[in-house]
Amino acid sequence: MEHGNLVNVVDVEATCWEGERPPGAVSEIIEIGLTVVDLEARERVSRHRVLVRPARSRVSAFCTGLTGLTQAEVDGGLDFAAACRLLATTYGAGVRPWASWGDYDRNQFTRQCRATGTRYPFGFRHTNAKVVFTEAYGLVRRPGMAQALEVAGLPLEGRHHSGEDDAWNIASLVLRLAERGAWPNPLPRRAG
């Protein structure tokens, strides 16, 4: 498979709180969901879950209720720098185009890499799938992922706010957009 046919669809979950953030705590990535999409074959070819151990915050009860993740689970995860290296070496993050639903995920990686001195794992070819979807469907407001699935007539698979499941569902939306000819990185047409 060539890198040009593959897109990494990424969704992260981060530490969060109901109301005020505890003093000294920062929002940190605790789960990276990644689904690899083959645009040419029009299929999701693999799904991955990387748990990340936060260094400056803890998983709140609110966060567990939202994501299903517990502090004990993420304590067994990789540190952030190791997770970024894994994305780059195992999942071709620096060479494959990537997509997320909105800019939150890209911004969270940018902030956390800057704050920790970690090398940013992704290349520059990022697509905000939410913007593409909104334009392709002629919507006035940008929908959340679950609402977009409804608009597209696709099922919500798994648990909403699970990075792994959300990446899988966003990948389904990317494929629907590709089917409609709306995905911005079309493959070159083959002579035939």
* Contact partners, residue 36, CB within 8 Å, separation at least 6: 6, 7, 8, 9, 44, 45, 46, 47, 48, 91
pLDDT score at 93: 96
For the chain (192 residues), the mean pLDDT of every run of 10, in chain order, is 76 96 95 97 97 97 97 98 97 96 97 97 95 97 97 98 98 97 66 42
Strands (E), the chain: 6-14, 29-38, 43-51, 98-100, 126-128
User: What's the token pair of residue 180?
Assistant: 């409609």
The pTM score is 0.93
**What domains can be seen in the chain, in order of their start residue?**
3-179 (3.30.420.10)
Query: What is residue 61's three-state secondary structure?
Result: helix
pLDDT score at 192: 41
Residue of 131, 166, 171, 148 whose CA lies nearest to 38: 171
pLDDT score at 1: 40
pLDDT score at 182: 96
CA angle, 32 then 82 then 68, to 5°:
30
